[in-house]
Amino acid sequence: PGVSCRNQEEKLLQDLMANYNRHLRPALRGDQLINVTLKLTLTNLISLNEREETLTTNVWIEMQWCDYRLRWDPKKYDNIELLRVPSTMVWLPDVVLENNIDGTFEITLYTNVLVSPDGCIYWLPPAIYRSSCAIHVTYFPFDWQNCTLVFQSQTYSANEINLLLTEEDGRTVEWIAIDPEAFTENGEWAIKHRPARKIINAGHFTPDDIQYQQVVFYLIIQRKPLFYIINIIVPCVLISSMAVLVYFLPAKAGGQKCTVSINVLLAQTVFLFLIAQKVPETSQAVPLIGKYLTFLMVVTVVIVVNAVIVLNVSLRTPNTHSMSQRVRQVCLHHLPRYLGMHMRREEAAGPPQAARRRSSLGLMVKADEYMLWKARTELLFEKQKERDGLMKTVLEKIGRGLESGSAQDFCHSLEEAGPEIRACVDACNHIANATREQNDFSSENEEWILVGRVIDRVCFFIMASLFVCGTIGIFLMARFNQAPALPFPGDPKKYLP
């Protein structure tokens, strides 16, 4: 029986192929339309190359049509109800992927066709298509894309074949079929919608044109941004936040304040270069993450400028700059109160002349006490007389008066030492003035440093607020960029099984 069956199939195939021309359309009349139904089954969304704007998919494309030349009576051929025929032996509707990008318009493997006794043909060839897909990078990496696979006949017009979507159980299959058991989920993209439509381009073409009718399968996919969040956004935010910490470096750090900011700027440039290699070279839109990196670079440049200004202010000296009272009042009295800075309070002092007088007298008293205390030790007294010049003469004259034990001699010795004592007083005044000037110089230097600290604190609050608000604001924009709830605006159909 098995041999008989095979012989009957061979006989049937020979009978069907006798006088059969695979190059001719199976139409009894020239105006007869051949209905060709299409159905697309997606087995794998391989990749979407944003830079090349290419979608790679693994699909099975199901086509059905009827060929009156391939009819037979099963009773005459041992009740054969289905005949498998090589697809290269029968007429094919030459339906191709119109928006392919690699020049491969046809399917990958020409599998056998299944022929029924009524002449209807079922063909399910596999294909790996690389189709063009216009990438919208405005919200990258929180974007969604709408890619299409456009099928049309390569040589037949709408007056010769009629492209239709397959019907199953009395319902048109207006979607891309997905077999859950055979489908491999993509790690970067999630499929949101997968509708299918027949498009009639009546506005630009006539039924005699092959572009008049097309069957379009849509893939509306949403990107899974976790990879970019972990590997680009989080490191970039952490590195950029280090630039804000520059405001806590003291002015004594010098150029280190600028060095840290410039290093952060270089790191941001590297991230921007990585993003530029990922997205297509287009000037139509700037990616969201590109906007964010540009924003961070601007913030970092402003921080560098602030650091230069703070260093310029902090390293000023009274020899080169004089601080105005307005700057002193604003930066050393008013702003620190609102910034939570604890500034050193100046001690209450009287008029400047009285302060200088008290300073000079106090220095003289302390010098006298020091000298008298030192003179109590004879050994130190003798050594000091040998070491000192002016003080040596004064002490010798006073010493002679003390040795006599007479008050008159002591007063006389004081009179003799008067010019030298006056010279000592002048020397003490000179020392006091020099010390006071040095203290004033150091105090004004410290004031400039404090002004630099205040500027640092003001810039810190401004730039930290700008950094946080800018980061939140830019990424909140992605929140509003979600795939639509329905495939086509204004169409309530969901195009799902």
- Cα 454 versus chain centre, distance: 32
Give pLDDT, residue 321.
Answer: 75
In this predicted model, which residue has the larger pLDDT, 421 or 301?
Answer: 301
pLDDT at 268 over 70: yes
Q: pLDDT by residue (tens digit) across 130-165?
A: 999 999 999 999 999 999 999 999 889 999 999 999
| For residues 322-345, average pLDDT | 72
Confidence at residue 106, expressed as pLDDT on a 0 to 100 scale = 66
pLDDT tens across 391-403, in order? 566 666 666 655 5
- Report how far apart, in Å, the C-alpha atoms of 424 and of each of 51, 403, 495 are: 87, 23, 107
Weakest-pLDDT range from 80-94, 153-167, 340-354: 340-354
User: How far is it, in rounded angstroms, from Cα 175 to Cα 187?
Assistant: 22
Place of tokens 């700008």: 466
From 44-58, 296-310, 419-433, the region with the lowest mean pLDDT: 419-433
Residue scoring higher pLDDT (312 or 194): 194
What is the rounded average pLDDT of the residues 209-232? 94
> Which residue's entry shows tokens 């130190």?
380
pLDDT interval class at 188 (50, 70, 90): very high
The answer, yes or no, to whether residue 249 has pLDDT greater than 90, is no
Domain spans of the chain?
A: 2-224, 225-343+385-481
- For residues 240-264, give the mean pLDDT: 85
CATH architecture of 2-224: Distorted Sandwich (2.70)
pLDDT value of position 407: 65
Which of 160-169, 232-241, 415-424 is predicted with the least confidence, judged by mean pLDDT?
415-424
Write out pLDDT tens, residues 436-495. 666 655 666 777 888 888 888 888 999 999 999 999 999 898 888 889 999 999 889 888
Distance, CA of 166 to CA of 177 (rounded, Å): 11
Mean pLDDT, the chain, integer: 82
Instruction: Tell me how far apart the alpha carbons of residues 191 and 179 are, in angstroms, rounded to a whole number.
Output: 14
CB atoms within 10 A of CB 382: 12
pLDDT in tens, 401-412: 555 666 666 676
For residue 21, count other CB atoms closer than 10 A to its CB: 10
Tell me whether strands 120-123 and 34-49 are parallel, antiparallel or unpaired: unpaired
Q: What pLDDT is stored for residue 488 in this prediction?
A: 93
Whether 342 has a pLDDT exceeding 90, the answer reads no
